[in-house]
Every structure is written in C-alpha cells, then in structure tokens.
Structure 1
Amino acid sequence: MTAIVRPVRVGLQLQPQHADYKAIRRTASDAEEYGADVVFNWDHFYPLYGEPEGKHFECWTMLGAWAESTSRAQIGALVTCNSYRNPELLADMARTVDHISEGRLILGIGSGWFEKDYDEYGYEFGTAGRRLDDLAEALPRIESRLAKLNPAPTRKIPVLIGGGGEKKTLRLVARHADIWHSFGDADTLERKLAILHQHCADVGRDPAEIEISVGVRGNPEKAGPRLRELGASLFTVGVGGPDYDLAELRDWIAWRDSLNG
C-alpha cells in the first residue's frame, strides 16, 4: 500500500432549502472567505426537513452559478442523484462546470433515495438494488463520455461516491471513486473501511488512492481526532436555511488549521 498523507480539508454542505437564492449565494461566498476547502450543495427537488413544500432550488444550475460567484473553493454536489440525468449528459454538464470554475468541480454521485423527488418529477423509484445497478452502469458511461468531449475537462475530474452499502456501493467506490463519502460515525467508518479495503484488494486497487470524506457535526476537538486516525481527511459540515449559521464551519476550519500548521 502506498502511503498517502493528505492534509485535513473542511467542506460545507450548503443545503439549498428554505432560503432565497441571494442568501444561498452569500453563504457560499462567506464559506469560501472563511476558508472552506469545498462548498457542496445537494441534488433534491424538495426540502429534506422542515416544511416539506418549502423553498428549494435545483442542484446543477446552481453549481454553474457558483462556478462564477466563487473563485477558490472546490464545488460539487453531495451528492448528484444518478437517476435524474442521462449519464452522458451529466458528464457534459460536469465538464462544462469544470471549465467555468477553472478546474474546481468535484463530481459527487450516488444512487438516489428520496422517493418524493422521484414521484413528483416522474422518475421511476424502483428498488434500492436496481438504483445501485443503474449507478454501476452509469459510471463507465460517464467516464467514457468525459474522455470523448471536446474540449476535454481541464483535468481528471475527481469522482466522489456517497453511500455505505457494503456489497454494491463500496465495490463501486473501489472501482471508480477518487473520494468516498461516509454518512456514519467513527465506529461505522472503521467497519466499512475494512470492507472497502477488501473490495479494493479484489479489484487490484490501492485503497490509499481514495480520499476519505465524512459528514461531521458538533465539537471538532471531540469528533475529529478519531475520524482523522481512521484516515478521514475531508470533514463536511451541513447547514440549512433560511438562516445559514456558519459558526460550526468556522470551528472546524480552526481545527483544520491547528493540525495543518
């Protein structure tokens, strides 16, 4: 195994719900100014909590706008729902945002899970297994289309896969991901990392090539060290509207800076 020591990075998942777009744009800019390494949104059509019919904005048109309104932080979706866009189209969208942002896009993707989005927008929800099979079919198509586009992406666009399914999702991570995002706690991360390493062995890949990303909350001095010991290097705080409080993000940025020196 190749030893790869990654510096700690901090991200913000800026959830585009219950807020006017001006507040979302301002918060993305504030997060970048405070020092966030990545600003994510998410790929839903309705709020996930609070008023279910509350204000909400679409993911990828927003990423195109962020590519112009930010200048340093990486941007991406945590995560894009594979079901909502043809894989070739998604690859072209990603390439375009990559160019607009001058190489700052992370292509986050997952199999999808929020049934209301599917029902209201006319997508077939099906089963979790079928959606994962669709993702497995889509990822090589995305990779193939990215290789054909003219102009090509500015660089190899990093692919982030979110999810912790042990038989299918983590196998896809081993084959395709540059970043794996885990939604669990430290104990869950430790167990699933062992499974991911086995999938990597099965496909002949060094697991050290995959950056470990985790969603976090609370005091970084308490939550951060064990996650870091397990190999996590990207720590992402989530925040929802209408009033985006970035105090927790700033705490994690301060913790990052104390470690990175």
Structure 2
Amino acid sequence: GRHYQLAGASYHPKPIQRPHPPIWIGAGGEQLMLPIVARHADAWHAFGSDDSMARKSRLLDQLAEKAGRDPKAILRSASLSLSRPWDQVRRRAAALRAAGFGYLIAEWPSEGKGRLSAFVEKVLPELAG
C-alpha cells in the first residue's frame, strides 16, 4: 500500500465469498454516491426521512437499470431508532419495508438494555411476522 508494504506476507484464512466479500456502501448523495452504489454495491445503507429514502430508493432502481444491473440485486438497509415511541418505530419500519428496505439496523437505545428487551418482546415479533 501507500503507507506500509509487506513482502511475502499471506493472509489466512482467505475470504469464502466469491469473487469478493459483499460491498456495502452507506450513502445518500444523489449526484455522486448513488451512481457508485448502482454500479458497484451489493448493499446500500441509507439515511434520511422515510419520504427521502423512498425517493432515493426509486432513483437507485433507475440508476441500477441504467448501469445494466437488476435493481433487486442491491440489498437496502436503514437504521431504526429504538428510542422513539413504539408506534413511530412500527410506522418507520413499515414505511421502509414498503420502500424496499429489507434490512433494518436497530440502533442501541439511549434508555439502555431494558428498552432493547421491550423492543424484542413488544415490537420485533410484529416486524418479523
């Protein structure tokens, strides 16, 4: 590399993914980053309001098609705050699912472990169903 070079070094075990590990890109920029996601990413992690993420997801579909890729081949993920009221958590999860987001990354709640346990009991079964 530019900063450090190794001669004769090997890395074991080799990654099992072929041809490479999945490429996840977290980005929201429509001019620069979404076209890169459309061409290269296996998964896209998005940020923003429900409406902006749905709009950007549709844009990503168009950009992927333009790049010769099946838009469904790009997984979509987003963060889900567990510190909001449960009805808001449910609505956000439903909006993201409707916009094509299949992965929700639960943010550690500021309220701590008890809130996480409540999420697992009260909300997660509905989302997983």
TM-score of the superposition, structure 2-length normalised?
A: 0.72
What is the aligned length?
A: 114
Letter in 2 for 1:152: K
Counterpart in 2 of 1:225?
A: 94
Output the CA distance in 1 between the equivalents of 2:120 and 2:35: 30
Seen in structure 2, the aligned counterparts of structure 1 residues 221 and 179 have a Cα distance that, compared at 3 Å, is same
Q: Secondary structure at the match of 2:30?
A: coil
- String of CA shifts for 1:196-215, please: whole Å, max 9, x gaps: 11210111111111111111
Deviation at 1:253, TM superposition (A): 7.6
Counterpart in 2 of 1:155?
A: 17
Deviation at 1:256, TM superposition (A): 3.8
Letter in 2 for 1:202: K
Relative contact order, higher structure (CA 8 A, sep 6+): 1
Q: Secondary structure at the match of 1:232?
A: coil
Deviation at 1:177, TM superposition (A): 1.1
Counterpart in 1 of 2:106?
A: 237
**1:68-217 counterparts in 2 under 5 A?**
152-156=14-18, 157-217=21-81
- String of CA shifts for 1:172-202, please: whole Å, max 9, x gaps: 1111111100111210111111211121011
Q: Which runs of 5+ in 2 are unaligned?
A: 6-10
Counterpart in 1 of 2:126?
A: 258
Output the CA distance in 2 between the equivalents of 1:253 and 1:189: 28
TM-score of the superposition, structure 1-length normalised?
A: 0.38
**Sequence identity, in percent?**
32
Seen in structure 2, the aligned counterparts of structure 1 residues 245 and 154 have a Cα distance that, compared at 3 Å, is same
Structure 1 runs (4+) greater than 2 angstroms displaced: 237-240, 246-250, 252-261
Deviation at 1:233, TM superposition (A): 1.6
- String of CA shifts for 1:134-177, please: whole Å, max 9, x gaps: xxxxxxxxxxxxxxxx7531124221100111121111111111
Q: Which runs of 5+ in 1 are unaligned?
A: 1-84, 90-95, 97-149
Deviation at 1:224, TM superposition (A): 1.2
Output the CA distance in 2 between the equivalents of 1:165 and 1:173: 10
Output the CA distance in 2 between the equivalents of 1:207 and 1:230: 13
Deviation at 1:244, TM superposition (A): 7.7
Q: Secondary structure at the match of 2:31?
A: coil
Output the CA distance in 2 between the equivalents of 1:177 and 1:165: 14
